[in-house]
Amino acid sequence: MKLSGVMLLMIFYCELFVYRITAQASGRPSVVNIGALLSFSTNVGKVAKLAIKAAVDDVNSDPTTLGGTKLKLQMQDCNHSGFLALAEALHLMEGQTVAIIGPQDAVTSHVVSHVANELQVPLLSFSATDPTLSSLQFPYFVRTTQSDQYQMAAIAEIVDHYGWREVIAIYVDDDHGRNGIAALGDTLAAKRCRISFKAPLSVEATEDEITDLLVKVALTESRIIVVHTHYNRGPVVFHVAQYLGMLGTGYVWIATSWLSTALDTNSPFPSDVMDDIQGVLTLRTYTPDSVLKRKFISRWRNLTDAKTPNGYIGLNAYGFYAYDTVWLLARAINSFFKQGGNLSFSKDSRLSDIQGHLRLDSLRIFNGGNLLRDSILQANMTGTAGPARFNSHGDLINPAYEIINVIGTGYRRIGYWSNYSGLSVVRPETLYSKPPNRSSSNQRLYSVIWPGQTTQKPRGWVFPNNGRHLRIGVPNRVSFREFVSVKGSEMTSGFCIDVFTAAINLLPYAVPYKLIPFGDGHNNPSCTELVRLITAGVYDAAVGDIAIITNRTKMADFTQPYIESGLVVVAPVRKLDSNAWAFLSPFTPMMWGVTAIFFLAVGAVVWILEHRLNDEFRGPPKRQVVTIFWFSFSTMFFAHKEKTVSALGRLVLIIWLFVVLIINSSYTASLTSILTVQKLSSPIKGIDSLRSSNYPIGYQVNSFARNYLVDELNIDESRLVPLNSPEEYAKALKDGPHKGGVAAVVDDRAYAELFLSTRCEFSIVGQVFTKNGWGFAFPRDSPLAVDISTAILKLSENGDLQRIHDKWLLRSACSSQGAKLDVDRLQLKSFSGLYLLCGLACLLALFIYLMQIVHQFSRHYPGDTESNGGSSRSARLQTFLSFVNEKEDEVKSRSKRRHVERTSYRSEDEMSSCNSNRKHIELSSNLSLDSDTRNCNGSS
């Protein structure tokens, strides 16, 4: 054993000697100076200090990493001070430092980055998460941890996942806090969410200052609070919030990664601190499990026990990144030397010109800074925190976070967020091999125990506890006051007001509001202007007869429509009186003509089918013509006396009588409707005829109908006449276009129906030519709009909405339905199927009948062609027609007589033949004579 140990030691020193010889031959220095800027008293600084020292020792103990060159580390404590960080950075760079690990926070990083730019010394920060540090302004700043840009994207997706729309941001008012919250605002805006209130804290805020700030937060509407601070202020914020009762039911608190870092570093937390953060959500930078990570965790306790006087310090995510940063820098330095880089420094001429006692002229520019920075950004390694590779923006690839819910004395992971697939309960690395799926159905988190020990998702907002009522604008109408009626400054009633009140009463929470009239009381106000005042902050909502149209939806959010509406044309109508020829009205001329033709055709077909069998369809030609006409038209009343005896005739007649039954029923029903139902007529048939004419058109003052007629239908403004009340409507319509009135009024359907309910001389003509509805208007993304919409749907389902409608708008004096401008006449196409069926039956019967006739004719006159071969075709046709005209009984009897005659002729011929044979046979033998005689007698 001793011999083998000695051998291994000799091999190690030999390799070390070879690497040193190689390094000297290649021009590599034996030592490379690197620095580290930390805040030793912080959670991150304590862990990073140990991790960086351990990494430097590991790099120096492995001669293969730098080819025999060693890292010489110098750490400086900047104590969270930008000034001290600047001084310590200058001190490090005086010693020809090629790279600095750190600074630790955003404030010092912003300061030191200017020095790094001047002296071209790369900064590798494992904990400065400010997104603005990745800008082009700081080319020598390299972030070796995840940017807050991704952490804020994760928070925005959590907010959107639970359906919240507004958050409150509490943050430390420094570079880290301001820039992080700015990134949060941008990512929330992409989800149509927003930060409704920003609550900045000074870096050294006292408990009283925090109390004053949280009191303002409690008076706001949103209950989703994001805390983006440092660990020294974060616990105080939660302690004050607990004291003010802001960690109870209804609140949602989301802390950024400072809280998870504190939980990992100082675990276990004191019980009083844990009580202040129950139900809080926080994010922790995700580091995938690996062999390297497990090995580093296993040796962490030995590192802390040996090098910290206060005992064990927990390992947080920044410890992994700090350890990996040293290895990343070591590999980059090795690549730097392989590419021919050397450690050379030159004077900065601008520093030499500065006079004073600061000795800035001792600082040198690192000539290989560009090459070393590029080597760092081109690194591709796997460390304890996972893959270390940079994208084109200088950020680490595959950013991911764990989402943690603080419960009891510890915490519980409820899911993950990654920039690749969003929210998931599956580890991010298992999703990288699959196509990204950001659909809402794929975004999942486990259940959360929210503040107040409840599992029910908080609504996320309440009405502000500042004593202010919602200011709701109500149009002060002067006409159609059944919809909205304002009496004085307090009394408001009407259909729209009752619907809103009923919806408010269905909400599970109280809504303090005040209805404020809008308008001068002399003219109907513009609802578009009322909606615009919501965006201006004059009103918190608008309730009334507000149509949901395009330009208004661009300014505000609307609830579910509570009444259907749309533009219609109202015009004078007159009653149509029936005339002496009203009985012809049920059918169109085409229908009458086709029906008459079918009556004659069916009569002719039945005559053809019955003529040879039925005596009632025989006789002189004049009588047969009369029979056809009589039979045809008598079937209309089912009064035909002639009986059909043929099967084909009965088939045709049955089908025809069915057609006649349908025609008679339809005619009777249509004629009854024409003679009993009131018919109205108007020269205006609808919006198309009104648009094509040059008549003046009336519209309601301040209605959107005017803009629609001008902008959409291109009607000249000179034709439009503003009207302010139903009385003006009636007068203008009665006067008509020739006496200073209007030909028609274009208005919303709801107004038109209410106007027509007591004025029978007018009616809606044509169809509704726009489709919209009325709703209540709220500011964009208002959560109250969603709840009111749900309440309106409930009113519709339980029938209350219809009851409110009947209370205010149900009138029965006149029908408000549109005038019937044309008599409802039955068209031929409505009966085409019946006529087609009857026609096919007739053709089929005629075809079968013709085949039967031809067969009989060929059987009864089989020899005509042979015996009269020279006769003309006309003679043959005349014979056929004569055959067809004969009664079938006569044909059959004549056929029998011919058969008997032919039989007798055949017998006579046979007898004469037998006599001749007898004479001949007498000359034969007697035996033959006897035999033939018997045969002849037998045959006769």
- On whether both 154 and 225 belong to a single domain, the answer is yes
Of residues 380 and 309, the one with the higher pLDDT is 380
Residue 317's pLDDT is what? 93
- pLDDT tens-digit map of 172-218: 999 999 999 999 999 999 998 999 999 999 988 999 999 999 999 99
Report yes or no: 152 and 283 within 8 Å, Cβ to Cβ.
Answer: no
Among 676, 699, 728, residue at a domain's last position: 676
Report yes or no: 575 and 800 within 8 Å, Cβ to Cβ.
Answer: no
- pLDDT tens-digit map of 397-432: 999 999 999 999 899 999 999 999 999 999 999 999
CATH of the domain at 204: 3.40.50.2300
Sole residue written with tokens 């069915």: 658
| Of residues 755, 156, 723, 661, the one with CA closest to residue 403 | 156
| Distance from C-alpha of 49 to C-alpha of 195, rounded to nearest angstrom | 37
Q: What distance, in Å, lies between the first and last C-alpha atoms of the chain?
A: 147
Instruction: Indicate the pairing of strand 557-558 with strand 380-383.
Output: unpaired
CATH of the domain at 733: 3.40.190
Burial of 835 (0-12, 13-18, 19+ CB in 10 A): middle
| Domain-located, residue 891 | no
- On whether both 232 and 184 belong to a single domain, the answer is yes
- On whether both 84 and 231 belong to a single domain, the answer is no
| Domain-located, residue 814 | no
Residue 823's pLDDT is what? 46
Mean pLDDT, residues 241-270 taken together: 92
Residue 817, pLDDT above cutoff 60: no
- On whether both 650 and 690 belong to a single domain, the answer is no
- pLDDT tens-digit map of 583-635: 667 777 888 788 788 778 877 777 777 766 766 666 677 767 777 777 776 77
- On whether both 362 and 476 belong to a single domain, the answer is no
Read off the pLDDT band of 816 (50, 70, 90).
Answer: very low
844 contacts: CB under 8 Å, gap ≥ 6: none
Residue 12's pLDDT is what? 45
Mean pLDDT, residues 29-58 taken together: 92
Residue 371, pLDDT above cutoff 60: yes
Sole residue written with tokens 């409704």: 196
Of the listed ranges 62-71, 251-260, 418-427, 680-689, the one predicted with least confidence: 680-689
- On whether both 294 and 369 belong to a single domain, the answer is yes
Residue 893's pLDDT is what? 64
Mean pLDDT, residues 748-757 taken together: 90
pTM metric for this prediction: 0.69
Read off the pLDDT band of 929 (50, 70, 90).
Answer: very low
The SS3 assignment for 783 reads helix
Residue 637, pLDDT above cutoff 70: no
Among 652, 676, 700, residue at a domain's last position: 676
DSSP state of 487: E
Q: Which amino acid is at 256?
A: T
- On whether both 257 and 154 belong to a single domain, the answer is yes
Question: Considering the chain, what is the average pLDDT of its residues?
Answer: 82
| Domain-located, residue 760 | yes
| Distance from C-alpha of 528 to C-alpha of 402, rounded to nearest angstrom | 47
Residue 793's pLDDT is what? 95
- On whether both 277 and 414 belong to a single domain, the answer is yes
Residue 80, pLDDT above cutoff 90: no
| Domain-located, residue 838 | no
Residue 266's pLDDT is what? 87
- Annotate 657-670 with DSSP letters as a single string: HHHHHHHHHHHHHH
**Cα dihedral across residues 112, 113, 114, 115: positive or negative:** positive
**Could you tell me what percent of the chain has a pLDDT over 70?**
79
Read off the pLDDT band of 364 (50, 70, 90).
Answer: confident
Residue 534, pLDDT above cutoff 50: yes
Residue 811's pLDDT is what? 65
| HEC letters along 513-572 | EEEEEECCCCCCCCHHHHHHHHHCCCCCEECCCCECCHHHHCCCEECCCCEEECEEEEEE
Residue 764, pLDDT above cutoff 50: yes
**Could you tell me what percent of the chain has a pLDDT over 90?**
45
Helix or strand run (H / E) with residue 300: helix 291-307
- Annotate 594-616 with DSSP letters as a single string: HHHHHHHHHHHHHHHHHTTT-GG
- pLDDT tens-digit map of 781-794: 888 898 999 999 99
Order of strands across the sheet that contains 744-748: 720-723, 697-700, 744-748, 567-572, 762-765
Residue 441's pLDDT is what? 83
Residue 318's pLDDT is what? 94
Residue 587's pLDDT is what? 76
| Domain-located, residue 764 | yes
| Distance from C-alpha of 918 to C-alpha of 905, rounded to nearest angstrom | 21
Q: Tell whether omega for the bond before 589 is within 30 degrees of 0, i.e. cis.
A: no
- On whether both 403 and 327 belong to a single domain, the answer is no
- On whether both 499 and 361 belong to a single domain, the answer is no
Q: Which two tokens stand for residue 29?
A: 């220095």
Q: How many residues does the chain have?
A: 940
Q: In angstroms, what CA-CA distances link 103 with 77, 84, 126, 431, 914? A: 10, 11, 8, 33, 148
| Domain-located, residue 637 | yes
| Distance from C-alpha of 184 to C-alpha of 148, rounded to nearest angstrom | 9
- On whether both 230 and 301 belong to a single domain, the answer is no
Q: In angstroms, what CA-CA distances link 378 with 109, 344, 368, 498? A: 22, 22, 15, 69
- pLDDT tens-digit map of 851-898: 877 766 676 666 544 444 444 667 666 666 666 666 666 666 666 666
- On whether both 100 and 186 belong to a single domain, the answer is no
Burial of 433 (0-12, 13-18, 19+ CB in 10 A): exposed
| Domain-located, residue 865 | no
Residue 18, pLDDT above cutoff 50: no
| Domain-located, residue 636 | yes
| Distance from C-alpha of 493 to C-alpha of 501, rounded to nearest angstrom | 10
Of residues 506 and 932, the one with the higher pLDDT is 506
Of the listed ranges 40-44, 263-267, 577-581, the one predicted with least confidence: 577-581
Of residues 868 and 270, the one with the higher pLDDT is 270
- Annotate 252-271 with DSSP letters as a single string: EEEE-HHHHHHHHHSPSPPH
Residue 130's pLDDT is what? 93
Phi-psi region of 253 (alpha: psi -120 to 50; beta: other; left: phi over 0): beta
The count of structural domains within the chain is 5
| Distance from C-alpha of 198 to C-alpha of 210, rounded to nearest angstrom | 13
Instruction: Provide the domain limits for residue 340.
Output: 31-144+290-388
Read off the pLDDT band of 146 (50, 70, 90).
Answer: very high
Residue 87's pLDDT is what? 87
Among 643, 676, 709, residue at a domain's last position: 676
Residue 27's pLDDT is what? 62
Q: Which two tokens stand for residue 279?
A: 């139900």
Of the listed ranges 282-296, 326-340, 383-397, 653-667, the one predicted with least confidence: 653-667
